[in-house]
Structure 1
Amino acid sequence: MSMPSQAMRRTWRREVVLMLAVLAAGAVAGLISGHMLVCVLLGVCAYLAMHLVYAYQLHRWLLSDRSEPSEGIGVWQEIYTELYRLKQRNRKRKKRLKRILDEFQASTAALPDGAVVLDAQGRIVWFNSAAGALLALRTPQDLGQRIANLLRHPRFSAALSQRRREIGELEIPSPASDTDTVLVRLIPYGNDQRLLIARDVSEQKRLEATRRDFVANASHELRTPLTVLRGYLEMMEEEAAGDGPLAEWRSPVTEMGEQARRMNSIIESLLKLARLEAEGLQQRQERIDVPAMIDDLADDIRRADDERHDITLHLDREVGLFGRPNELESIFSNLLANAVRYTPDGGPIAVHWWQDDQGAHFSVHDAGAGIEAQHIPRLTERFYRVDAGRKASDGGTGLGLAIVKHCLEHHEGELDIDSTPGEGSTFTCHFPLQRRLLQRAA
């Protein structure tokens, strides 16, 4: 048996002895006075009154800030002592937690990125000085305010409503400046709390704009001399095809013509990317019959492919989209063209278009060589090549998936890539519920 238990038993034994002594004193007084019951009751009342007095003192001490408890006798002395020790431990624990919190706030205040702590209702609990500068937050006025009322942006509000999962990087205009851009991220933790991280990416966006302008201008300037070269190469190809003096140059002239056409395709793709990035969300949007669009694209690809692949369509005819037709056509055509390019002759290609409670979805599954997992995150980068199975000689420009990514961003969509080496790849486009349109099947 431990020492605290022995001490407790000794204390309660003394308390029982004290109670019996009070009752005995009342009994003796009753024998002397001849009023036994009255004297015993008076002793019991005195004993209860003592406990009530000490209970009142204990309650008053717990509500006060006094460091020393009141004095007591018997079991109350032990109770006061144990509570005093407990209060001292709690005071030390609070000091330690406050010191840790102060160090945390000091370290986060020194961060260049903004940090905002949100409670389960999306109210601001705390933020550092960088967050105040980036998001135009004021202290103490904005503490306790809902972050959605201060950062009024549709994409941020939609992300904030998704309580149970982490929100990736999201770009929104800075509330502090009309020309700056802030990259925000929401990280859930604790009891439905979330940490908002904000970073100023204005300079990065300006550098990206400069790069886009350079690529667009360079591509535009290259188009004219390339058109002249292609014209002469086409004339030389015609001459080399016959029995003229260029017949012996037929192979190199044909190769030069193919490379010139590929360079022209790359330039056209770069210009298309530049237009997509420049136009942003300003293009006209309309109701689009997606199944009919996919049918037309599949027919064109079958004719161009000479029916060398088995392309099957599984389309929900009652689902359409609200969006930009040219961009959606680019999404579908690029994914279909990639599937044809990397699937061996005779291989199957399955195209699906369906809906669920999350929105509308488009997927293309090919029977190609597949892609290793480490390459998948970089597939949408410009000119990124996986391996020898996807070389420049396959006819691709290395820009198709980059175009798909930009077009999907304009439709609040996401691209999901699932691939296993030796088993083919599946490229799936997810469109949000607000983009989905229900239409009557033809």
Structure 2
Amino acid sequence: MIVVGDREVPLLEVLTGFLSAVREALSSSSSISDSYDPQTAAATVVAVPAHAHGAQRFLTLEAFRRAGFRVTAMINEPSAAGFEYTHRQGRTLNSKRTRVIVYDLGGGTFDASLVNVDGVDHEIIGSLGLNMLGGDDFDAVLADCALDEAGVGLDDLDLPSYVRLLDVCRDAKEHLSPQSRRIPVEVAGIPVTVQVEDFYTRATPLVEASIRAMEPLVEDLDGDAPLAADIAGIYLVGGASGLPLVPRLLRDHFGRRVHRSPYPAASTAIGLAISADDEAGYSLADRLSRWFGVFREGDAGSTVSFDPILGRDQLIPDHGELVITRRYRAAHNVGWYRFVEYTEVDRSGEPRGDIAPFAQIVFPFDAALQTPGTDVESVPVTREAGPMVEERYAIDENGIVQVRITDLDTGFSRTHALSRPAVEAA
């Protein structure tokens, strides 16, 4: 649920309403309205941030479908931008420099992907990012600078006034050029001038955070060393990458091989168009950008252990689904599975960073507890020899995971799939 005005609205309803308006605008008042018919449109290809977790991916797909689009593919944003790079900057790639890092700083998220290119064939070697870093953060920094110049505290503004200030700062930020020295801003009716270097000083930690996040993509990168020899360059995409501070700091840190898309806000859309063109022949081998694992009960429920299931280097199938299975003999009467998606691991393999709950499945290994209507969650966990169990993990072409647990002795199973009710029993 999200709050809209004075009422709570399901997020899927908001997304569907927005995309329905987009669909109507495309067919009635856009530059392609004469030729676009949503009923007969051959395909719609959509993009999501590389670090979007399964629920976000599903909500995006479902909203497009409910709005009347026929979605044929979902691609990670930096992966799509990699297509645009090859199309536009292909001359920078050769037999010695076969890779490019796509640096995607959007309005609300940051992603970076290391792409290996062989002609029109693209393979994502890895993706890293920060889900809580984007252009909005730079707007807030500029707003803080303006408030200081005006001698106005944040508590002195009501919410609508602060939102207007952020809009003013966003517009001012997007009009900065390398030659800009001052930024005129109005705060609560007070005109002020923010020095660009003051703004850049405060914004530098944000760019440095993105640099730290992307550094592991380059194996032999050490501090301020130049890019690895096989990397043709860093390609800047996303609306927030237009801030002149961004390429300046990236060049200072990595060297001179920094290229900016001439259409940074549209690079992903151009890449999606290329991917939808069968005659272009572009191919993509992408990977999960999050680890996937499960917390399990141990020692009759007295302990909890963590088991990593899928690595973020796991390839995503280009069609259909990839299935991974595990089989073992249960050692308890009831199994508690708490599945999570996560962005980092510590040295022991435990999940860290941005951890997103995926599902909780309480599974009765004891056949007597598999009767419909049994409140399995209230049953104490005891240690006892159980049946052979199969865990089945299916990854679809959109990077969404489905989990099914089955008692191989009785055939009883429970499934968590984002496209259907959370738990099914058979």
Q: TM-score, normalised by structure 2?
A: 0.20
Higher strand share: 2
Larger radius of gyration: 1
Higher helix share: 1
Tell me which of the two structures has the higher relative contact order, counting C-alpha pairs closer than 8 angstroms and 6 or more residues apart: 2
